[in-house]
Amino acid sequence: MSAEIPEPLAHPEVLEAPTATFLTIRSRVSTRRLGTAFFIVGLSWVFANSMASSTLFAAKIAILDPTNKVGVLAVATALAGVVSTLALFFWGAISDLTRSRLGKRTPWIIFGAVSGAVGLVLIGVSNSVGGLLAAFLGYCLLYNALPAAVLAVFPDRIPREKRGTTSAIYGGAQVIGGAVAGIIASQFISNPNPLFFVASGVILVGGLLFVVLAPDFSSKDEPRQRLDLRGLAESFKFPADAPDFYWAFAGRFLLLLGLFMVQNFQLYILTDYIGLTNDEAGTILALGGFASLITIVIGIFVAGPLSDKIKRRKMPIFIASLLFGVAVFIPLLSPTGTAMIIFAAVSGLGLGAFLSVDTALMTEVLPSEESRGKDLGILNTANTVPAIIAPLITAGIVGIGLGYVPVFIGSLIVIIIGAFSIFMIKSVR
């Protein structure tokens, strides 16, 4: 007796998308269960990646090379941004072309979780700057298969009218994962190595749980580009005649660039700009982390569902960008530890609102249903390219002796431009 059950009766979650822009959306599990899987994987990979690339990474560099720590961090972050940018684009395109019994995305989610876990262990055992950079760049190249594939599941399997809420779940999990990682990492600045092993286990378990909770249909019978040179070239080509796609990229790029110019240098701002000791800075980072957790939750549970309810994406993102600007302005006016705690709280509120809606917006400006993974990979580089540029800008400004005040001012200008870029999108309200 055949185990195959004819569609659509076998799967009540098989839904038609509301516009012709997207192919039939099919899911083997309910949207609620998918939301649970998104929460787990978003929390786990961002928690692990924050351990690898934020406070702990900066602390490890400071231990290995205290004299050149700012320059080393800037170079490492910039190189990692280049690698991650190329990796997101590559893995997204490869997942579009993948045909397997597990589906298009699942093999690369598993690959990213396993390779990311190995990379984090290698980062933890590195005892020289050269070894640390090599392990870090290898990690960035391989683990990015996971977020690239997970993001493509949104347009594959989530109905458009539910993407705001699901985006809130996924984006909120990411922000919570980053905040929790920051709180924990702040207590291990003097001895960061053990937490890299914890992060390794977290990313592995999170990626595998996603696959177990949200299995996909086989993609073996789906058509695809021919795997010759011309077909591969088509698969990696940037979209043409898609202005909203590029405005969405510009908005995300600029908003995150402005925020990263300040956020990624919080430890050094506290110690070198405000003048706190490492222990005092650790306390402020922990308090800021707790404050941002509270405001993140508020932003998540308000912005995402509200975006679905009012059927608008741009206004919530614009409000989030205003919160970014306010957050950056506070320590500019008052260079104190308290101001940095307020910065964390206000930027957390904005980031929760931003990430809870932004993913939904990105899935609604895709120019082609056949290259979702690749196109989302391009849009996702708007997360990583700012990570290349922001540390170079901040380190350059500080390195020539101007201090952190121009960093705050430049951040504000970039955020304002990014906010208005979102309103240039015409096809999404």
At residue 15, φ and ψ (nearest 5 deg) are -125, 150
Asked if the structure places residue 135 within a domain, the reply is yes
DSSP string, 114-138: HHHHHHHHHHHH--SHHHHHHHHHH
**Residue 352 · residue 169 · CB < 8 Å:** no
Asked if the structure places residue 315 within a domain, the reply is yes
The distance from CA 406 to its chain's CA centroid, rounded to whole angstroms, is 26
What is the residue-level pLDDT of the chain in tens, covering all 429 positions? Answer: 333 333 333 333 443 333 334 345 667 778 888 889 999 999 999 999 887 777 788 888 888 888 888 788 878 877 887 888 888 888 888 888 888 888 888 999 999 999 999 999 999 899 899 999 999 999 999 999 999 999 888 888 888 778 778 888 887 788 778 878 877 887 888 788 889 999 999 999 999 999 999 988 887 777 666 555 555 556 556 766 778 888 888 888 999 999 989 987 888 899 888 988 888 888 898 899 888 888 988 888 788 788 888 878 888 888 888 899 999 999 999 999 999 999 999 998 998 888 778 877 877 877 766 677 778 878 877 877 787 788 889 988 988 888 899 999 999 999 999 988 888 887 777
For position 4, what pLDDT does the model report?
A: 33
Residue type, 202: V
Asked if the structure places residue 397 within a domain, the reply is yes
For position 121, what pLDDT does the model report?
A: 94
* 3-state secondary structure (DSSP) of residue 238: coil
At residue 398, φ and ψ (nearest 5 deg) are -70, -40
In angstroms, the CA 198 to CA 206 distance is: 12
For position 220, what pLDDT does the model report?
A: 77
DSSP string, 68-86: THHHHHHHHHHHHHHHHHH
Instruction: Return the number of other C-beta atoms located less than 10 Å from residue 228's C-beta.
Output: 9
Nearest CA-CA partner of 86 in 174, 133, 145 = 145
At residue 25, φ and ψ (nearest 5 deg) are -95, 125
In angstroms, the CA 341 to CA 106 distance is: 39
Sorted by sequence, the CB contacts under 8 Å of residue 70 that are 6+ apart come out as 268, 395, 398, 399
For position 25, what pLDDT does the model report?
A: 64
Asked if the structure places residue 18 within a domain, the reply is no
* Domain CATH number, residue 372: 1.20.1250.20
Asked if the structure places residue 1 within a domain, the reply is no
Asked if the structure places residue 21 within a domain, the reply is no
The answer, as to whether pTM is greater than 0.75, is no
Query: 70 is in which domain, residue-wise?
Result: 31-422
Q: How many domains does the chain have?
A: 1
Asked if the structure places residue 387 within a domain, the reply is yes
Asked if the structure places residue 331 within a domain, the reply is yes
- Supply 136's token pair: 């870090």
